[in-house]
Structure 1
């Protein structure tokens, strides 16, 4: 069969100029399908001009689409265009949003929705499509109709049993994948799930609260075949299993693998295991993304973050002493007053951070917070779930809220510290970076118009 895999464009164009990670999930799907002899084409809609035209030219039997909540309508529009084409392929949708809210894809242009791990599911779908079409026998599916029907839940697989992602599928795109100054950048997953129970995050619930791991030996085999010198570990929390990650570091050193690493870690993991981060620094760990979320212990407690400001501040000190860049992330509550915005700005400045990002608190479908605050949410518009718009009522008038949000980005990191971060980009890229910042802040300030 000819199977087309599509990574849709992002809902906000400038996001793809801040970071663009490779479509790793689709590379896993393609690897599995190739084992069965299928002809695979992967199109990245963030880079390709017209994925529908390119896709139709491929004449696929199956089109598989993936995406997040903010891309729901983009996915449905693509599905409609493919169904209306002369080839009218079989359309399958999977990914994060399909797993947490599959009924959003209960439309006539979509034939099946994959819930959970898709490598095995898509292989089985292709087999059934060519034979009996008995999709009810496949685990982890939503079958569109007047009322969506669901098959048995697919249990989580052993991550080591998955095929290695097929990066040949993205050969023509690989120079485009990056995260800010890290370019080109490869993405590698070593685990799935999280030990945290933050009520605004769905990642831990996707695995039923389990923390699933690949063996260090399996990860090293993949790293030996990654061409890029920069590697992003796209785990939900990379360093939780200290023994496993210490062994992985030892194996990387033994194999002589030389890369620059970027990963996620919780502040309490850093505080409890500074020696592990020192060990990783010595083999190439350059920066760590830490979800610090707030300037207030009461806010952290309300999010069920399981952290204190004291732990956050100690984590900042440890990474600074190790010479590892801390990429701190904070959440802006729609209930913020102007004083709250000032307090967050002051907190970031007090920590003397060189780099920080800010997102609007968004109760995504599939999270505890979404269930708890469902009655408060604005009328459902998936494209607003992009962490730049609010989907909850704001204490401030919307125009003031978005003005303060834009000012936060401009003021939280003082210029002399921001210049150190800008230096990572190199002189040639700086004009583009400044244009991007201007575009982003302008977009934030105008976001109130999107609520009309």
Structure 2
């Protein structure tokens, strides 16, 4: 079969200029399909918007689409357009939103929905379609139908060690385009899936039924040896949960002579409880850790079921600074913030003396406890607003003022003298582009109240 895998365009292309990660999920799917002799084309519509031209030229038998909640409308429109161009082409949808809310894809123009890890599911689907066999015998799929979707038997989550190494040749033409801030070019590598925490705003631990799935460190090293990029993002939900495993991985990377700059997710309490692990990783290239600080109030952190404290935040900042590892500090603004709450958060960030801080809005994403608790009082169900930058919950402040306060956080949180060394990593040309981009971002933030 001829199979076209499409990474949809972003609902907010402006953010593609801040970070653009490789379509790793589709590279995994491609690697799983090729052994059966399928011809696979991966099209990244974020970089090449004219996916229809690629479709016409390739003339696929099957198209695979993936996306998050914010892609929902985009995927539906793409599926409709594919069927208009070629009614006999199979349209299969998978990814995060398909897993947590598959019924949203119960449409005539979508043939199949894949739930959970799709590598082996899509491989079986392609075989069944080619042989015209019974699709209902394949576990882990949903079949759209006018009277309600038909769900087959659930598929247990795949052992990560059974998955193939992603086929990065599928994105060869664009490898230099994938980046995050100054990490460019950047490759993404997955070493685990799921998380040991139980935050109520996150669905990732629920997707794996609460299990923390791990890849064998030796398999991760095998993959790293084939990665050409000097920068690597460990795109795990949380990389350092299993301390012993990551300690062994660090040893194996060092023994293999691999030298790269690493960027990963780490929890505050993991940093505080295991500073020696981060020290070891700093020696082999750990440059940056994305840390979900979330809030400056112990009460609000507890309400999120975050499992960390403000005191631990302070310790984590100290530890990473001492090790020379930059903290990518991320805070989550509660829509219920008052003016005093915004001031308190700003004061807290100043005390932390971050070199880099970012702010999102607490968003009730489908599949989370937060969503179930608040779905009846949400301001909108427009998929493109599920971007962590728009509030979907009522705000204490007038909506326009809420977004002005959000913009102020970005302008006042990190003083120029502290952020300048990082900005200079872009080079002069990159710095000027970054400043223009920041200005456009702030203008959009101030006008976000009009997006409803």
TM-score range, shorter-chain basis?
Answer: over 0.9
1:389 is paired with a residue whose SS is: coil
Q: Report if the CA contact (8 A) 1:52-1:78 is conserved.
A: no
1:331-370 matched pairs, under 5 angstroms: 331-370=332-371
- How does 1:29-428 map onto structure 2 within 5 Å? 29-86=29-86, 88-146=88-146, 147-428=148-429
Return 5+ residue gaps in structure 1 as ranges: none
2: CA distance between counterparts of 1:148 and 1:392? 29
Q: Which runs of 4+ in 1 moved over 4 A?
A: none
Contact 1:64 1:94 in 2 (8 A): yes
Structure 1 equivalent of residue 24 of structure 2:
24
Instruction: Measure the CA separation in 2 of the matches of 1:108 and 1:370.
Output: 27
Count of residues in correspondence between the two structures: 451
Equivalent residues of 1:82, 1:88 under 8 A apart: no
The alignment status of 1:429 with 2:430, answered yes or no, reads yes
SS at 1:394 equivalent = coil
For 1:71 and 1:133, locate their aligned partners in 2 and report how far apart those are by CA, in whole Å.
Answer: 31
Q: How high is the TM-score relative to the length of structure 1?
A: 0.99
Q: Which TM-score applies when normalising by structure 2?
A: 0.99
Give 1:300 deviation, angstroms.
0.2
Shift of 1:373: 1.3
Q: C-alpha distance in 2, partners of 1:397/1:330?
A: 21
Runs (5+) with no aligned partner, structure 2: none
RMSD: 0.9
C-alpha separation in 1, matches of 2:404 and 2:9: 27
Match of residue 8 from structure 2: 8
CA contact (8 A) 1:59 1:87 kept: no
Partner SS, residue 187 of structure 2: strand
1:339 shift after superposition: 1.3
CA distance in 1, matches of 2:38, 2:203: 33
Distance in 1 separating the partners of 2:363 and 2:450:
18
Q: Distance in 2 between matches of 1:285 and 1:247?
A: 15
Work out whether residues 9 and 49 of structure 2, in 8 Å CA contact, stay in contact via their aligned partners in 1: no
Note the C-alpha offset of 1:113.
Answer: 0.4
SS of the equivalent of 2:353 reads coil
Per-residue displacement from partner, 1:148-198 (whole Å, max 9, x unpaired)?
111111101211110000000000011000000000000000000001100
Are the equivalent residues in 1 in contact too, given 2:82–2:89 (CA < 8 A)?
yes
